[in-house]
Structure 1
């Protein structure tokens, strides 16, 4: 009788060990899947961050070009204003304008 009771206890203990090992194995597997998913999400986020950084750099370059263009147009107006006010320059009237045309060569007539 004692041997049968010992066998029952050892069978129950063996069953409990098997269940515990199965649960632990399942938890390790779930943990591995979660690690894979986290790495996948990290890569997706990093790719998106790289795209945003590239877009930011492109926008900064365009902003710089627009600032240079704005300064250029502003300088043109300043030059015209200074020419009129400081140097007293003006556009001549049509009566004082002379148009000179060059004689045409035979190649240009064709």
Structure 2
């Protein structure tokens, strides 16, 4: 009987060690899987961020072109206003307008 009592605590101790090691191995495996998942999520989010940054740059470039276009149209109106007010320029009436046509060369007639 004494031998049975001595093996029993030893087998319990061995069983506890095996369970602790199994739990640690499972915890390490779960931790490793979570790291893999986090790296995947990071790369996915970084790819989305890069796409949004490219889109932002494209929109900023288009905004700059639109501002230049707006300034161009604004400058044309400002020039016309100054020509009328400061230089007293005007468009002549149709009766005072003369259209001059250049004679056609033989190459243009063909």
- TM-score, L = length of structure 1: 0.96
Name the Cα RMSD after superposition. Answer: 0.8
Partner of 2:7: 7
CA distance in 2, matches of 1:47, 1:41: 10
Distance 2:5 2:16 in 1: 16
Q: TM-score, normalised by structure 2?
A: 0.96
Which position in structure 2 is the counterpart of 1:93?
A: 93
* 1:31 aligns to 2:38 (yes or no): no
Aligned residues: 110
Distance 2:64 2:105 in 1: 47
Structure 1 residues without counterparts, runs of 5 or longer? none
Q: 1:79 is paired with a residue of what secondary structure?
A: helix
**Runs in 1 of length 4+ with deviation above 2 angstroms?**
none
Q: CA deviation at 1:95?
A: 1.5
Look up the SS of the partner of 1:88 in the other structure: coil
Which residue matches 1:50?
50
Structure 1 CA distance for aligned equivalents of residues 2 and 64 of structure 2: 91
Q: Which stretches in structure 2 are left out of the alignment for 5+ residues?
A: none
